[in-house]
Amino acid sequence: MTEERADDTVEDYSLKLRPELISNNSGYQAGDEVWLYNPARRKGRSPKLQKSWEGPYTVIKRINDLVYRIQRGPRAKMKVVHLDRLAPYRRPHEELVDRDDHP
């Protein structure tokens, strides 16, 4: 195996083990709303039936491609979390038609 080919193989292997080394341009921006994955387990309750997602949180700052500072409300404590624990929050659709206008 040539030295050049060996370097490519090592680099490919590293990216498979550490996918965060690949740049993430599609992350969240300041002001975006997100869900936070926080699987808090309570004694005596089935983990399957517990809520694992909390939110919505607001992204305050993108520290780097993988780490974000988020906050639940204006007076709440800020949290620093990894991108893997975040999911986009989509607001429920408001009714398009006002019910008072139609019988």
pTM as predicted: 0.65
Amino acid residing at 55 = G
Tens of pLDDT, residue by residue, the chain (103 residues): 555 555 555 556 555 665 555 554 578 999 999 999 998 888 888 888 888 999 999 999 999 999 999 999 999 999 999 999 999 999 887 544 455 554 5
Q: Which domain CATH number covers 35? A: 2.30.30.140
Q: Which of 88, 58, 91 is nearest to 73 (CA)?
A: 58
Q: Tell me the residue length of the chain.
A: 103
- CB 78: neighbour CB atoms within 10 A? 13
Q: Using CA atoms, how far apart are residues 61 and 68, in angstroms rounded to an integer?
A: 6
Q: Looking at the domain assignment, is residue 39 inside a domain?
A: yes
Asked whether residue 58 is domain-assigned, the answer is: yes
**Helices of type H across the chain:** 3-17
DSSP one-letter code for 99: G
Range of the domain at 65: 27-90
Q: Is residue 7 part of a domain?
A: no
Question: Looking at the domain assignment, is residue 5 inside a domain?
Answer: no
Q: Please count the structural domains in the chain.
A: 1
- 63: phi > 0 → left, psi -120 to 50 → alpha, else beta; which? alpha
